[in-house]
Amino acid sequence: MRTVSTLDQDRLHDLLARAQREVDEGTLPACQLAVALNGEVVAEATFGAPQASRFHGYSSGKVVVAGAVWLLLGEGALRLEDRVADHIPEFAANDKGAITVEQVLTHTSGLPQAPFDPLEWEDRDARLARFASWRTNWAPGTRFEYHPTSAHWVLAELIERATDQDWRRFVGDRLLAPLGLEHLRFGVAPEDQGDIVDVLAVGEAPTAAELEALTGVVGLDLADFQGEVNDENLIGFNRPEIRAVGVPGGGIVTTAGDLALWYQALLQDPKGLWDPTVLADATGHVRCTFADPMTSAPANRTIGVIVRGDDDQIALRGMGRTVSARAFGHNGAGGQVAWADPASGLSFAYLTNGLDRHPIASGRRGAALSNRAGVLTAPAG
């Protein structure tokens, strides 16, 4: 554990105790958290695993892939209004030719459950055939529905078409290396996976009544609620060959410290990586306010992050109630938390290898931790 005196020490103790409690009680096998401020990690701790362990961050990594697209937007290699098919002609099949880059980034492209076997990625012919085979569920641009993995397979392909480079290499060379993020990776070779903590499912699945209370949908089946974000697929990330692929929509492997520092980079851009206008748009301009069909709350999505906002639905956006309305982030399956708050300059990341089957339990945990992290620099009293 490492801390500095910049933070309110009593509140920090409360945050760390809250995280440690569930490991001590056996609710979670392990967790790791970090708080960053002014471009550096100012507090970090790991419970239930070696301090230097790396964890699966799942969808918290979507922001990193989006960040690579933001680079290309700033350089003019991509435009939000571009049709995906302008860059990936094979994608146009089955009436998908009008889908835009912006729609892919905002989860409004109509492909929320488009199938893709991660092991097909390295086979270019299979990859392109898969893109061609996809069909939309609804007219692109007319509604929001979370795309667990499909959108980011498309973004990875767009990065490769625009740069003529493996997308993982591009992310590493243009983002992670300049920022000194040595532990954050997409695609980890089997021989380098020894420090990655295996994941397992914990907790009890919600009842039908609890699902209805959460979503407002009567008779919702758990399988329909989870979609591809289910135990089998999430635990499948333990497989060395899946870790090696680096699934762009969920395959991030990182420490909490590196993830918190990633968000510091989005607050400050100390290396001047992004065009300032694009970065401001990406982290603050809400482009998608369609209702999330699973919660009925406005999605509040930019071209890569969720903005907390100031309406009565903030509890459903995963950043707690003590951060400002301008806070932005993106959590991950099973209880991963990641955000930054421009008002305080804080960023926070929490990772666990205990994938909670109960979305209400994991949501409450994330809110409890975020609420404690959000006031670490606030005046006491």
Any idea what the Cα angle at residue 119 is, between residues 30 and 105, rounded to 5°?
75
Q: For the chain, what's the residue count? A: 381
Annotate 182-215 with b (16+ C-beta within 10 A) or e (fewer).
ebbbbbbeeeeeeebbebeebbeebeeebbeebb
Q: pLDDT exceeding 70 applies to what percent of the chain?
A: 92
Range of the domain at 102: 1-198+205-381
Q: What is the CATH number of the domain that holds 97?
A: 3.40.710.10
Question: Which DSSP string corresponds to 249-286?
Answer: TT-EEE-HHHHHHHHHHHHH-TT--S-HHHHHHHHH--
> Per-residue pLDDT for the chain (381 aa), expressed as one digit of tens each?
554 557 999 999 999 999 999 999 999 999 999 999 999 999 999 999 999 999 999 999 999 999 999 999 999 999 999 999 999 999 999 999 999 999 999 999 999 999 999 999 999 999 999 999 999 999 999 999 999 999 999 999 999 999 999 999 999 999 999 999 999 999 999 999 999 999 999 988 777 676 666 666 666 666 566 567 678 889 999 999 999 999 999 999 999 999 999 999 999 999 999 999 999 999 999 999 999 988 889 999 999 999 999 998 888 888 999 999 999 999 999 899 999 999 999 999 999 999 988 878 888 999 999 999 999 997 754
Q: What is the pLDDT of residue 217?
A: 65
pLDDT tens digits along 121-148: 999 999 999 999 999 999 999 999 999 9
Looking at residue 229, its pLDDT comes to 63
What is the predicted pLDDT for the residue at 318?
A: 87
pTM above 0.75, yes or no: yes
Residue ranges with strand state E in 126-248: 185-186, 200-202
Question: How many domains in the chain?
Answer: 1
The predicted-structure confidence for 246-301, as pLDDT tens digits, reads as follows 999 999 999 999 999 999 999 999 999 999 999 999 999 999 999 998 888 999 99
| Alpha-carbon distances, residue 243 vs 18, 52, 139, 296, 375 (angstroms) | 30, 18, 33, 34, 35
Burial of 117 (0-12, 13-18, 19+ CB in 10 A): exposed
